[in-house]
Chain A
Amino acid sequence: IPIKPSGQKGTCANIAAGAVVCVESEIRGDVTIGPRTVVHPKARIIAEAGPIIIGEGNLIEEQALIINSYPENILPDTEGVEPKTMTIGINNVFEVGCVSQALKIGDNNVIESKADLGKNVILTSGCIVGACCQVNTCEVIPENTVIYGSNCMRRVQTERPQPQTLQLDFLMKILPNYHHMKKTVKGTSTPVRN
């Protein structure tokens, strides 16, 4: 979890140095993005009902939607509702078009295209949610689980998915050539990993 510079709470995004966030992406609310994270254009990160903290080395592709939304039966104006923080770990991949409302996501997970994670799911580490799979149960998905198929079959794999370091390096070089980037916060004490 990156160190937030003090005194910068509120509705602006805290983008650490070393993160590559395209201007065309939509970031609303209190969102913290760690270094070496790449956010593609048209990705949407919306912190409605609480802040979102995104770790290092994540890859958030186009049209992905990460939203910390209010539970269904609570209106936005109700008093006394505690804002819950959504935490996303390191080296996760959110592929094109996925929707994630899960409040806690660990490390090294892959959420494939058009997957749908509900509010009550907790992903640990090394999980792969397959394309078009909807997971809206109220459970903690054990480590190294693969959810695949039209019936959301599950199996456990022996090794976790590899972090996409090659892809991240490539994108961090190429994306600034074609897109404008959002301004990062200068002077964080987290060193950028080589």
Chain B
Amino acid sequence: MASLLQPDRVLYLVHGEKKIRSPLSTLYFCRYCSELRSLECVSHEVDSHYCPSCLENMPSAEAKLKKNRKRICNQLNENFRCANCFDCPCCMHTLSTRATNIPAPLPDDPSKTAMKKAYYLACGFCRWTSRDVGMADKSVASGGWQEPDNPHTQRINKLIEYYQQLAQREKLERDRKKLARRRPYMPLAFSEKYGLGTRLQRQRPGAPITSLAGLSLKEGEDQKEINIEPAQALDEVEPLPEDCYTRPINLPEVTSLRQRLLQPDFQPAGASQLHPKHKHLLIKRSLRCRKCEHNLSKPEFNPTSIKFKIQLVAVSYIPEVRIMSIPNLRFQKECQVLLTLTNPVENITHVTLVGCEEGDPEDINSTAKVMVPTKELVLAGKDAAAEYDELAEPQDFQDDPDVVAFRKSNKIGFFIKVVPQREEDGDVTVSFKIRHDFRNLAAPIRPSEEGDAPAEAIWLTHHVELSLGPIIA
């Protein structure tokens, strides 16, 4: 029975660049445009970076400029990785630091030994330790672990510097042409080659984000000429070892593809070369409506807090339809399905259900005819204190027992009649439109009205699709 409450059985249609059907729990509601928004029709912005294991915060700007600019290649790596935490190279779990006591000679008197603490990294899941790859125990608990250097670092650094300079030069040329036509008061980031300078460029969905954007040379610096040697093709390749086909494989030593590709600069084939890498940072993102540029979702800055500063999710504004019980569905026989409607807001909501007409362009998935109740359904407001208030009088809504099965605080159960039209395998799908009144509390109250001026109600219509399950013959 719990499968009826699964969120993907009831889908709401979102009108955006693409028509998206998804459950109400995944949608957002822009109360300035009074429309539903899905994840694909909002713009995602990175708020901050944080490490998921030590929960250390790193605001975006600081994460980029963390290390010395000379080591640019490593900077791109350490940009978005935590300084303290490591990932197990074997199973990708977080490594923990363990201590052992080892006898070590005292620095003053080499003949005596004292117990000193030695630290090593260990994985609690697959029991990998840093001693497995030959990393010596360190005497400090944190900060002593280094990632091995990439032998190609210098070449990559030089290439990046060269291309940055090239991009800078092209940008200046482009700006010079444009400046001739427009006002000279132009943000320099407007035509960056490798970056997403302004929000105008960022609005494009699917545009890649590169971290090269922040690494441009400052205006005053001398532009030294950087020349790179082109890569040279070699004729001779190292031959395969002679026992390549006959040597038996030591299976525990072979790394899996996933282990190998998580270290793209080394890609070790043997497990004894798998070194731990710093942990990748996660992001906190905020969502913004593309039409009106208002924020729909803004999390708190603190990584330990799961609350939101702004949270305009659809379930707190739009009445939610859920399936409560389905009888045996039979081909071309009328069945009665029980649905529930929940009112998320605190004032009374009036809901009207309308079936889809013939030839409705939004109605593409339904495989059954549906008869919805014609009368208007009234939903009581959501009252958080209702369960504690014993003296509350039950509100008297004249409910037609043929239509309304039950009523419980802000929820009602109602019947719809379904006649499946297709006998094939697959779920019976019905769709209808739900029209409800919405009081926009975001709109400013006109100062000319005195006293109680309830916010104006506007009527919103949503297209809802329900998946009722297979036909039982």
Contact = CB atoms under 8 A, between A and B. Distances in A.
Interface of A: 128, 130, 145-146, 148-149, 153-159, 161
A155 B90 contact: yes
B126 A146 contact: yes
Contacts of A128: 127
A40 B129 CA distance: 30
Contact of B132 (A130, A145, A154, A157): A157
B165 to A, nearest CB: 46
Given A148-B91, A149-B126, A155 B131 contact: no
> Nearest 6 A-B pairs (CB), nearest first?
A156-B252, A148-B126, A146-B127, A158-B132, A155-B252, A157-B127
A157 B88 CA distance: 14
B252 A154 contact: yes
A159 B131 contact: yes
Contacts of A149: 91, 125-126
B335 interface: no
Interface in B130-151: 131-132
A155 B132 CA distance: 11
Contacts of B127: 128, 146, 148, 157, 161
A157 B128 contact: yes
Interface residues of B, number: 11
B416 interface: no
Contacts of B252: 145, 154-156
A157 B91 contact: no
A153 B252 CA distance: 10
B271 interface: yes
Contacts of B271: 155
A130 B129 CA distance: 16
A11 to B, nearest CB: 39
Nearest to B133: A158
Nearest to B126: A148
A23 to B, nearest CB: 33
Contacts of B128: 155, 157
B104 to A, nearest CB: 19
A160 B271 CA distance: 18
Interface of B: 90-91, 125-129, 131-132, 252, 271
28 contacts: A128-B127, A130-B125, A130-B126, A145-B252, A146-B126, A146-B127, A148-B91, A148-B125, A148-B126, A148-B127, A149-B91, A149-B125, A149-B126, A153-B91, A153-B126, A154-B252, A155-B90, A155-B126, A155-B271, A156-B252, A157-B127, A157-B128, A157-B129, A157-B132, A158-B129, A158-B131, A159-B129, A159-B131
Contacts of A148: 91, 125-127
A128 B126 CA distance: 9
Nearest to B271: A155
B40 to A, nearest CB: 32
A153 B271 CA distance: 14
B346 to A, nearest CB: 46
Contacts of B129: 157-159
Given A148-B126, A149-B126, A159-B131, 11 more contacts: A130-B125, A145-B252, A146-B126, A146-B127, A148-B91, A148-B125, A153-B91, A155-B252, A156-B252, A157-B132, A159-B129
A86 to B, nearest CB: 26
A130 B132 CA distance: 19
Contacts of A130: 125-126
Contacts of A145: 252
A183 to B, nearest CB: 38
A145 B253 CA distance: 12
A145 B127 CA distance: 10
Question: Which of B126, B131, B132, B271: most chain A Cβ within 10 A?
Answer: B126
Nearest to B256: A153
A149 B91 CA distance: 8
Nearest to A162: B100
A158 B130 CA distance: 10
Question: Which of B91, B131, B132, B252: most chain A Cβ within 10 A?
Answer: B252
A105 B128 CA distance: 23
Nearest to A128: B127
A155 B271 CA distance: 9
Question: Which of A128, A145, A146: most chain B Cβ within 10 A?
Answer: A146
Question: Which of A145, A148, A149, A159: most chain B Cβ within 10 A?
Answer: A148
A158 B132 CA distance: 6
Contacts of B131: 158-159
A125 to B, nearest CB: 15
Contacts of B126: 130, 146, 148-149, 153, 155
Nearest to A110: B127
A148 B256 CA distance: 14
Contacts of A159: 129, 131
A42 B271 CA distance: 40
Nearest to A161: B127
A173 B131 CA distance: 34
A155 B274 CA distance: 13
B11 to A, nearest CB: 32
A156 B271 CA distance: 10
A161 B129 CA distance: 12
Nearest to B251: A154
A76 B132 CA distance: 47
A129 to B, nearest CB: 11
A156 B129 CA distance: 11
Nearest to A142: B252
A56 B393 CA distance: 72
Nearest to B253: A156
A182 B129 CA distance: 40
A43 to B, nearest CB: 24
Contacts of B132: 157-158
A111 to B, nearest CB: 13
